[in-house]
């Protein structure tokens, strides 16, 4: 059983930055694909990106590529989501998760996810 705990959400003005963290436990972290998805009010959840914790290979949805970066610290069993140039449409609950298919950002289902952390982008 994998446990995931997110932190780092908050409110920021458009153009600002936030870094989310996800502490994982209960599995061999370095063998996993870890990812993030988000859910906006009244919308279905959408994949944001993922990273193979072993190789470091990353995948992103088009709307965040170049603005968001996923990284990992295998020694700390932690994954990060650095979000830059945030826009109001990035406002959502963000969840750390274990994707079923690491590279299929827009279609993958998720095996485990955390409780989520709120990100609000507003002036």
The tens digit of pLDDT for each residue in 39-49 reads 998 999 999 99
Evaluate if residue 120 carries a pLDDT over 80. yes
Q: What is the Cα–Cα distance from 112 to 100, expressed in whole angstroms?
A: 9
- Whole-number pLDDT of residue 30: 67
Average predicted confidence (pLDDT) for the chain: 93
Query: How high is the pLDDT of residue 1?
Result: 81
Q: Which of 49, 34, 57 is nearest to 105 (CA)?
A: 49
Pairing relationship of beta strands 10-12 and 117-121 according to DSSP bridges: parallel
Mean pLDDT for the stretch of residues 3-17: 97
Residues forming a β-bridge with 118: 93
- CA 77 – CA 104 distance, rounded (Å): 23
- State the Cα–Cα distance between residues 92 and 97, nearest whole angstrom: 15
Q: Would you say residue 53 has pLDDT above 90?
A: no
Check pLDDT > 70 for residue 3.
yes
Token pair 């694909």: residue: 33
């Amino acid at each position: 059983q994998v446990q995931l705990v997110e932190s780092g959400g908050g409110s920021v003005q458009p153009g600002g930055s936030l870094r989310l963290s996800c502490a994982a436990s209960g599995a061999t972290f370095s063998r996993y694909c870890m990812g993030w998805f988000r859910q906006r009010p009244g919308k279905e959840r959408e994949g944001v990106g993922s990273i193979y914790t072993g190789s470091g290979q990353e995948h992103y949805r088009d709307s965040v590529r170049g603005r968001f970066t996923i990284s990992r610290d295998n020694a700390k069993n932690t994954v990060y989501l650095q979000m830059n140039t945030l826009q109001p449409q990035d406002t959502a609950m963000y969840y750390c998760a274990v994707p079923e298919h690491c590279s299929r950002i827009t279609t993958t289902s998720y095996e485990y996810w955390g409780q989520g952390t709120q990100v609000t982008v507003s002036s």
